[in-house]
Amino acid sequence: GVVYPPIYFGSGGGHLDWPSTFMVSAEPMVQLVTELLHGFETDGYQKAILLSGHYPNRSEYLDAAVARYHETGGNMQVLALVENEAPGVGGDHAAKFETSYMLYLNSDTVTLQRLAVEPTDDVGGADQIIDFMIGAYRGHPCYGLLGIDPRGHASTEVGQENTESLLRFLAQWLRDSGEMQ
């Protein structure tokens, strides 16, 4: 097996209103992913997992690319998903779960202190999903997040548990089903 370098482009999701957010149209991404899948098959791979970190990518281009790959003669088994589609794996938009993943996988990139405000205001509870993307939160340190407030709820342990659950699910798919889901 091989882990291919990530493709750092997203498509869809209405994110163009956010500063420093650059998206591409779906069609070039469909073409790129289709060609990569054909290349992987040419190199002898029998299965591929397309794991996206940008939720809209699945509906915007991954599913279409997998369909085009098969329509143009591709034979590999392909699973396209975002992490929270795996059973027991949480996901969000830069909130508790994504922050926890980063705390577990690359803690040097996380500075939760930047989200501190005076007085500390844990918005919601341990399971309450908050849409920090709405205008009412403009100026709040969590503005732009969607999910459970990471302050006091994100942890290395949550990141490890979710990462290991995701990896178990993907390994099981590779071993057993191999069917597109």
User: Per residue in 58-111, pLDDT tens?
Assistant: 999 999 999 999 999 999 999 999 999 999 999 999 999 999 999 999 999 998
Give the pLDDT band of residue 120 (cuts 50, 70, 90): low
Q: Is-contact 114 77, C-beta < 8 A?
A: no
Task: Work out the angle at residue 77's Cα, subtended by the Cα atoms of residues 59 and 91, and round it to the nearest 5 degrees.
Answer: 40
Q: Which two tokens stand for residue 65?
A: 């690319």
Beta-carbon contacts of residue 109 (< 8 Å; ≥ 6 apart): 102
| Range from 18-27, 48-57, 135-144 carrying the lowest mean pLDDT | 18-27
> What is the number of residues in the chain?
181
Cα–Cα distance, 34 to 3 (Å, whole number): 17
Q: Is-contact 15 23, C-beta < 8 A?
A: yes
pTM attached to this predicted model: 0.88
Q: Is-contact 93 155, C-beta < 8 A?
A: no
